[in-house]
């Protein structure tokens, strides 16, 4: 029996409809709270099946000396660009997904029906790209004509911050700051690790003062995080693949924490997926520089993570399935109902949940 089997759901299989809840539109947080770190915090105790309502700054009290806090230091880059289709003057939106080579990117284009292999898309008089292939997900593969460094300089200066489609608005200057964690370091994500958005330098220093070890992993979150599950049998869903990196220093810190019987706190579902993907045996992880398509849904025996800090996720999403695997599914749905009744903010800019 693994150390978390006691918390896992007894039901052997789940349907997509099991993860549905009805959310009033007004509870979707379209903007962040005025001051970072002032979100609300719902605390779920898996053993006692209790729910507490606190402020996010109170998260500090749940750490003990020699615990380990694992963060995702991925950095969101302004992935939305606009180009002009050669010879037609039609405006095309290009959403950069991931670099495949020095000058080659997988992208999503809009309107897709008007962009075909062989088309030339002009960003400026000097910078353009050629469409060289299609992808299985109805995207495109482009090759730009300048160096990687010159292209990324253009992207960072002219790109728009990608924000989730459920916000139903265009990105604004505030998003370049607030749709980014204070510990963001490695650019490559097109969606933020939203549980990390609540942390401030001050909160992290308070946690560190409790003799808690803080360490990063990197998992570049892709648009697949918003990909809907379309199969009723959730076990048949194919998870998107994302790049992740775990350093030897982080692996050693996590392993030593577990060896000494202390707690591993994961900040967000992306950290959970990275740590569980890196598991080898005997409650140990190893250094990684790889891709993961790990899909965690109930029932699942967690090997690494003891406590989870997360946000409130969309119904029928892979994220709510992971959270439902970490705690009892019925308990999670009860907590979500209570969050709705108490008008918590939901999704990326919403309030937080701590599961202990």
Tally the domains of the chain: 2
pLDDT attached to residue 242: 92
Indicate whether 167 belongs to any domain.
no
CATH number assigned to the domain comprising residue 222: 3.40.1780.10
CATH number assigned to the domain comprising residue 90: 2.40.10.240
- pLDDT band at residue 7 using 50, 70 and 90 as cut-offs: low
- Looking at every residue in the chain, the average pLDDT score rounds to 93
Give the whole-number percent of the chain exceeding pLDDT 70: 97
DSSP 205: H
pLDDT attached to residue 9: 64
| Joined tokens for residue 152 | 């990324």
118: left (phi over 0), alpha (psi -120 to 50) or beta: left
pLDDT attached to residue 241: 87
Look-up: residue for tokens 């996010």? 56
- pLDDT band at residue 265 using 50, 70 and 90 as cut-offs: very high
Does residue 22 carry a pLDDT above 50? yes
- Kindly state whether residues 88 and 226 are assigned to the same domain: no
- pLDDT band at residue 1 using 50, 70 and 90 as cut-offs: very low
- pLDDT band at residue 10 using 50, 70 and 90 as cut-offs: low
Separation CA 176–CA 153 (nearest Å): 16
Answer whether 56's CB lies under 8 Å from 41's CB: yes
Edge to edge, the sheet with strand 213-219 lists 50-55, 40-45, 352-355, 307-311, 264-267, 68-72, 213-219, 242-246, 288-292
Answer whether 205's CB lies under 8 Å from 60's CB: no
- Kindly state whether residues 150 and 113 are assigned to the same domain: yes
The per-residue pLDDT for range 302-352, each reduced to its tens digit, is 999 999 999 999 999 999 999 999 999 999 999 999 999 999 999 999 999
Does residue 236 carry a pLDDT above 80? yes
The per-residue pLDDT for range 292-305, each reduced to its tens digit, is 999 999 999 999 99
Q: Which of 158, 157, 147 is nearest to 104 (CA)?
A: 147
């Amino acid at each position: 029996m693994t150390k978390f089997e006691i918390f896992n759901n007894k039901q052997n299989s789940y349907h997509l409809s099991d993860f549905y809840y009805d959310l009033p539109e007004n509870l979707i947080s379209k903007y962040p709270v005025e001051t970072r770190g002032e979100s609300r915090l719902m605390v779920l105790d898996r053993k006692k099946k209790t729910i507490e309502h606190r402020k996010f700054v109170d998260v500090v009290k749940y750490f003990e000396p020699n615990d380990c806090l694992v963060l995702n230091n991925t950095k969101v880059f302004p992935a939305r660009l606009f180009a002009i289709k050669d010879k037609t003057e039609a405006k095309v939106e290009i959403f950069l997904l991931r670099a495949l080579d020095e000058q080659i990117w997988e992208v999503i284009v809009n309107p897709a029906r008007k962009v075909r292999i062989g088309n030339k898309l002009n960003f400026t008089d000097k910078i353009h790209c050629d469409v060289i292939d299609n992808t299985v997900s109805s995207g495109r593969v482009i090759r730009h004509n300048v160096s990687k460094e010159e292209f990324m300089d253009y992207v960072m200066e002219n790109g728009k911050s990608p924000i989730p489609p459920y916000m139903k608005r265009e990105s604004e200057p505030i998003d370049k700051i607030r749709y980014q964690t204070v510990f963001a370091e490695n650019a490559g994500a097109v969606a933020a690790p939203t549980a990390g958005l609540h942390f401030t330098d001050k909160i992290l220093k308070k946690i560190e003062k409790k003799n808690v070890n803080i360490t990063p992993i990197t998992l570049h979150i892709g648009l697949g995080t918003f990909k809907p599950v379309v199969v009723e049998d959730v076990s048949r869903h194919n998870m998107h693949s994302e790049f992740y990196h775990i350093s030897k220093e982080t692996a050693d810190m996590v392993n030593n924490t577990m060896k000494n019987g202390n707690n591993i706190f994961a900040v967000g579902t992306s950290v959970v997926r990275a740590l569980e993907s890196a598991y080898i045996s005997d409650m140990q992880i190893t250094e990684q520089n790889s891709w993961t398509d790990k899909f965690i849904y109930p029932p699942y025996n967690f090997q690494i993570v003891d406590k989870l800090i997360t946000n409130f996720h969309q119904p029928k999403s892979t994220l709510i399935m992971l959270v439902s695997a970490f705690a009892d599914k019925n308990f999670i749905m009860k907590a979500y109902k209570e969050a709705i009744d108490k008008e918590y903010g939901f999704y990326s800019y919403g309030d937080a949940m701590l599961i202990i």
